[in-house]
Chain A
Amino acid sequence: MKEMINNETPYITGSKALLESLINEGVDTIFGYPGGQAIPIYDKLYDYKDKLNHVLVRHEQGATHAAQGYARVSGKVGVTLVTSGPGMSNTITGIADAMMDSTPIVVIAGQVPCSLLGTDAFQEIDVIGITQAITKWSYQIRTADEIAWAVARAFYIASTGRPGPVVLDFPKNAQVELVNYKPEKVDHIRSYIPVPDINLKNIEAAADFINSSTKPLALIGQGVILGKAEEELKAFIKKTGIPVASTVLGLSAIASNEEQFVGMIGMHGNIAPNIKTNEADLIIAIGMRFDDRVTGDLNKYAKQAKVIHFDIDPSELNKNVKVDVPVLGDAKETLAKITELVAENSHKEWRDSFNTYWERENEAVINKELYPTSGPLKMGEVVNKVSEATGNNAVLVTDVGQNQMMGVRYFKYNQTRSVVTSGGLGTMGFGLPAAIGAKYGAPDRTICLFVGDGGLQMSIQELGTIMQSDIDVKIILLNNDYLGMVRQWQELFFNERYSETTMINPDFVKIAQAYNIASRSVDKREDLDDAIEEMLNTKGAYLLEAKVIQKGLVYPMVPAGAGITEILLNGE
């Protein structure tokens, strides 16, 4: 044993050092699942019950999605703890999802002892090799001495700059070794520049472009939320009068009823901002990355416009769309700076010109979806009613598919950090565990999950987590007995050949009952309000199954690969 260097900091095991380091980073909640190579950590956790709340999920993928949900609504780092081998590999989807959506999570995985590394030992996998491509940083803690440093560094990297997932691979020898533990804090890393320097010249150039533009359009993404720049954005648009549209992940950065908010862009976005993107003389992209679901065919995207791009990540600039003025930096700072330099304006006429498209969309799509008077229930109608019943104050969590697009199209928000959805990876099975995490991240808010019959069954086991930990999430199952979104593509682009998209489903109400979760199924319009009220008035979790139209379609739609103005309004 090594010599005692410091009498005040006694030797403790690596496992204890890990937990102390987590507490040192302000962690209070861990989503995890134990196993052989993590038992020493779990053993210590037993002593830390009052300081660290561990939520036992039913599948490690769920633990990562829960950590994501937690991070997205709280703005803090989500933490996942799993065992080696299959425990670790089960987290891969969640890690990749967090990478695509810039979500700060730290995944800690047990590993076989260092002496067995590289020998194909039982439950050994090459964690670093596998995760390097889908993490911001992954690191193997080989000795207990490294724990304080590695954990501090992990949290610093995950949460600063453009956030993202970090993996710590933690071999068992380091978990049981003794270490003379002292807490550490990391506030810089030589090779890592989280926030690039502001270039004032570029901000001035951007301000000139804005001041001389007659048809400017701001496109906001999650960067605004991640950069906590909501107030700065508001000040900027108030002064300039510029209309603002949002990507899916940027939603709730500004309130839905904000006068200058002109809707959602992208494949299932609103027609006004999509069409106007190709009419604007200036596109001001803020913390968004011109994803192909947003731009459609790049050759037909905003060719007439000058482009200003605010981003914290240099590798995003000129990646998909050629930029005239890049504004690197933290949006909170750059937006504040540019607001000083821009002239006051209202752009009233330009903004009003969006209205005709809204009228058209209302008539062709929205009214029919939200206020049908006959026929089966519609997804949009359910989403809208739930949103209204919560006073637009709830957190929207979605799974992936039609339920997701209907959720983001029709849910409304009064406050930021109100949307949790898998944007970049589009992971089915994300919703249920993400909703669980969101509840821990925002315990005082109502969490409404919209999920399809397909997606629910990709992580349905997490109902067990809800039961065991008594988690208050409202699950609204939009059941169309189809893999709806794929069925939609098959209907529109594959001659209605519904290959493997019909689903024979179980009785979901009975399943909920088996998990002791209150539940109800509705298929009649006249029962919907009452069911929603019952759901919201029930203490604890609730599963509301809405049996919706089987062959519903999400419109408008920009077909994959088409230009954004080639948007389909409906099937007519």
Chain B
Amino acid sequence: MENKLYTITIFSENTVGLLNQVTIIFTRRGMNIETLSVSPSALEGIHKFTVTTFADQDLIEKVVKQIDKKVDIIKAYYNTNEDLIFQEIALYKVSTEKLLSLGSIEDIIRRYNARILDLTETWTVLEKTGHYDETQALFKELSEKIGVLQFIRSGRVAINKSKVERLSDMLASIEEKITKKHKDVI
């Protein structure tokens, strides 16, 4: 089967040590995590991990089931790029003098839809958000033309193309089941 970049979205309780629980599942199968980001989700008290990794369909299914199985993980999903809107952010530090030597800073800012985050006599920090290819293209151009002093790119963050958080329905059904269970007991 063909290897593709998959995005795994994981909703979890906010407990200590969860990152380790997620990453050891990749480690065990000798898989590399390409990017990772973690933050609180739109649902109160629930955290969201976005992980990207290369895998084939068969493997990604198994890995996601294994993640889902962990007690403190509420639900894990996987998607390919087509199902998602996603973004990464990159920061580039370059020498101000060299940047000016390019002639028109405006040109590079416009072409790449980048912006200046900070500017001093010695260095300038540019910021660009976009897909990997886009942030990489700017990196390439700057490296080749003037050199990049420092560079950092974030992990991917992604939102799926459905209207609400898929988890909401699931949580509602869990709540319903628990309530029913308690009624049954009484």
Contact = CB atoms under 8 A, between A and B. Distances in A.
B28 interface: yes
A315 B28 contact: no
A424 B4 CA distance: 32
Contact of B73 (A133, A136, A191, A314): A191
Contacts of A132: 17, 20-21, 24
A187 B178 CA distance: 9
Interface in A294-320: 313-315, 318-319
Nearest to B67: A315
B20 A157 contact: no
Interface stretch (B58-66, B103-111, B127-135, B158-166): B58-66
A189 interface: yes
Interface residues of A, number: 21
A191 B13 contact: yes
A133 B28 contact: yes
Contacts of B12: 191
A319 B62 CA distance: 7
A571 interface: no
A128 B18 CA distance: 11
A136 B73 CA distance: 12
The bracket for how many chain B residues form the interface is: 20 to 34
Given A188-B178, A191-B13, A318-B61, A136 B71 contact: yes
A133 B71 contact: no
Contact of A129 (B17, B28, B62, B181): B17
A565 interface: no
Contacts of B72: 137, 191-192
A315 B71 contact: no
B66 A315 contact: yes
Nearest to B64: A315
B174 interface: yes
A191 B73 CA distance: 6
Interface in A122-158: 128-129, 132-133, 136-138, 140, 157
Given A132-B17, A315-B62, A191 B181 contact: no
Contact of A192 (B65, B71, B171): B71
Interface string B1-45: 000000000001100110011001000100000000000000000
B62 A314 contact: no
Contacts of B17: 128-129, 132, 138
A356 to B, nearest CB: 38
Interface of A: 128-129, 132-133, 136-138, 140, 157, 187-193, 313-315, 318-319
Interface of B: 12-13, 16-17, 20-21, 24, 28, 61-62, 65-66, 68-69, 71-74, 171, 174, 178, 181
Question: Top 3 closest A-B pairs, CB basis?
Answer: A315-B65, A191-B74, A137-B71
